Amino acid sequence: MRKILVITLLLHAVFCFSCKKTEFSPEGPTDVRIRNISGTELVNVSVKIKEEEISFGNIGINETTGYQRFETAFPKAYISAEVNDESLNTGPVDFTYMNYLGQNKITYDVSVENKMIVIKNVTFDSPL
């Protein structure tokens, strides 16, 4: 009887620890794109969310980039770009108490105001 119990426990442990973790979690991934709603071209646009940074290249006036996948995303992000040969950004972002945007495709609408890049709106385009 003991042997059966030990074997059953061992098999249970093997099955529990051999399961693969899925690629998705409630936090993400999130596919992000940028829409330039400012009246000027954004050059060398880069988005940094926590420790993950992705370059989006140049974005013309009223243009939207393709999606790039981030492990997690939030309503705010650190976005930097060059505007008229001047480096601008959103300023530092504290992600501590922000809610995740989850497994979605989203668009950050960005503008340039007072020599800063501003996220004006976050649009949920579709679930992943």
- HEC-encoded secondary structure of the chain: CHHHHHHHHHHHHHHHHHCCCCCCECCECEEEEEEECCCCCEEEEEEEECCEEEEEEEECCCCECCCEEECCCCCCCEEEEEECCEEEECCCCCCCCCCCCCCEEEEEEEEEECCEEEEEEEEEEEEC
pLDDT at 31: 97
Q: Is residue 70 part of a domain?
A: yes
Asked if residue 34 belongs to a domain, the reply is: yes
Q: Is residue 67 part of a domain?
A: yes
Please report whether residue 13 resides in a domain.
no
- With respect to residue 29, please indicate whether it lies within any of the assigned structural domains: yes
Report the candidate in 93, 115, 105, 90 with the shortest Cα–Cα distance to residue 29: 105
In a domain, 7, yes or no: no
Q: What is the largest CA-CA distance in the chain?
A: 79
How many angstroms separate the CA atoms of 75 and 33, rounded?
A: 13
Residue 50 lies in a domain: yes
Q: What is the mean pLDDT of the chain?
A: 88
Determine which of 14-23, 75-84, 85-94 has the lowest per-residue pLDDT on average. 14-23
Question: Which tens digits make up the pLDDT trace of 21-48?
Answer: 445 678 889 999 999 999 999 999 999 9
pLDDT of residue 56: 98
- Percent of the chain scoring above 90 in pLDDT: 77
Domain interval for residue 90: 23-127
> Is residue 80 pLDDT above 50, yes or no?
yes
Residue 104's CATH number: 2.60.40
Structure tokens at 38: 């400012």
Q: How many structural domains is the chain composed of?
A: 1
Q: How confident is the model at residue 71, as a pLDDT?
A: 96
The answer to whether position 116 is within a domain reads: yes
